[in-house]
Structure 1
Amino acid sequence: MLNQAIKTAEEAGQKILEFYETDLEVIEKEDDSPLTKADLAAHHIIVNALKEIDPDIPVISEESGIPDYEERKNWDTFWLVDPLDGTKEFIKKNGEFTVNIALIKGDKPVLGVVYVPALDIMYYGDDTIGSYKREGDSKAEKLETDTFKNTGPARIVVSRSHGDDNTQAELEKLGIEVSEEVPSGSSIKFCLVAEGKADLYPRLGPTMEWDTAAADAVYRYSTNSGEKYSPLKYNKETFKNPYFLLGMDEFIDLE
Structure 2
Amino acid sequence: MQIEAEELKQVMESAALAAGRAIMAVHAAGPDVHYKPDRSPVTEADEEAERVILAALRQHFPTVPVVAEEAVAAGLIPDISGGLFFLVDPLDGTREFVAGRSEFTVNIALVRKGVPVAGIVYAPALSSGFTAVDGRAERFTVAGSTIGERQTIGCRGRGSVLTAVASRSHDTPETARFLDAHGIGACTAIGSSLKFCLVAEGLADVYPRFSRTMEWDTAAGDAVLRAAGGETRTLDGQPLAYGKRNQAHDADFANPNFIAARTGWSSGGGN
TM-score for both structures, normalised by structure 2: 0.83
What are the superposed Cα offsets for residues 141-173 of structure 1, whole Å, 9 maximum, x if unpaired?
Answer: 10022365xx74421101111122441323434
The residue type equivalent to 2:84 in the other structure is T
SS at match of 2:17: helix
Note the residue ranges of structure 1 that are not aligned, 5 or more in a row: none
Q: Compare 230-239 and 87-96 and name the one that shifted more.
A: 230-239
Measure, in 1, the Cα distance between the counterparts of 2:189 and 2:77. Answer: 35
By percentage of residues, which structure has more helix?
2
Q: Compare 23-32 and 162-171 and name the one that shifted more.
A: 162-171
Identical-residue share of aligned pairs (%) = 38
Show the counterpart of 1:161.
169
Measure, in 2, the Cα distance between the counterparts of 1:68 and 1:79. Answer: 12
Contact 2:50 2:68 (8 Å CA) reproduced: yes
Query: Larger relative contact order (C-alpha < 8 A, sep ≥ 6)?
Result: 1
Show the counterpart of 1:49.
56
Show the counterpart of 2:249.
none
By percentage of residues, which structure has more strand?
2
Change (3 A) 1:230 1:170: closer
1:103 aligned residue (110, 114, 128): 110
Show the counterpart of 2:253.
239
Residue pairs, 1:1-255, within 5 angstroms: 1-65=8-72, 71-72=79-80, 74-128=81-135, 130-137=136-143, 138-146=148-156, 148=158, 152-173=160-181, 176-223=182-229, 228-231=230-233, 232-237=240-245, 238-249=252-263
Shift of 1:246: 0.7
Measure, in 1, the Cα distance between the counterparts of 2:9 and 2:110. Answer: 9
What are the superposed Cα offsets for residues 96-134 of structure 1, whole Å, 9 maximum, x if unpaired?
Answer: 100000001000111100000011102101234x00001
Contact 1:102 1:217 (8 Å CA) reproduced: yes
Measure, in 2, the Cα distance between the counterparts of 1:28 and 1:251. Answer: 38
SS at match of 1:190: helix
Measure, in 2, the Cα distance between the counterparts of 1:251 and 1:147. Answer: 9
Contact 1:152 1:177 (8 Å CA) reproduced: no
Measure, in 2, the Cα distance between the counterparts of 1:127 and 1:171. Answer: 33
SS at match of 1:191: helix
TM-score for both structures, normalised by structure 1: 0.88
Residue correspondences, number: 241
What are the superposed Cα offsets for residues 202-254 of structure 1, whole Å, 9 maximum, x if unpaired?
Answer: 0010000000000100100014xxxx3322110012311111111053597xx
Measure, in 2, the Cα distance between the counterparts of 1:117 and 1:15. Answer: 10
Contact 1:168 1:178 (8 Å CA) reproduced: no
The residue type equivalent to 2:226 in the other structure is R
Shift of 1:31: 0.8
Measure, in 2, the Cα distance between the counterparts of 1:244 and 1:67. Answer: 27
The residue type equivalent to 1:229 in the other structure is E
SS at match of 1:134: strand
The residue type equivalent to 2:244 in the other structure is K
Contact 1:147 1:247 (8 Å CA) reproduced: no
Change (3 A) 1:20 1:196: same
SS at match of 1:118: helix
Q: Compare 113-122 and 130-139 and name the one that shifted more.
A: 130-139
Structure 1 runs, 4 residues or longer, greater than 4 Å off: 66-69
The residue type equivalent to 2:204 in the other structure is A
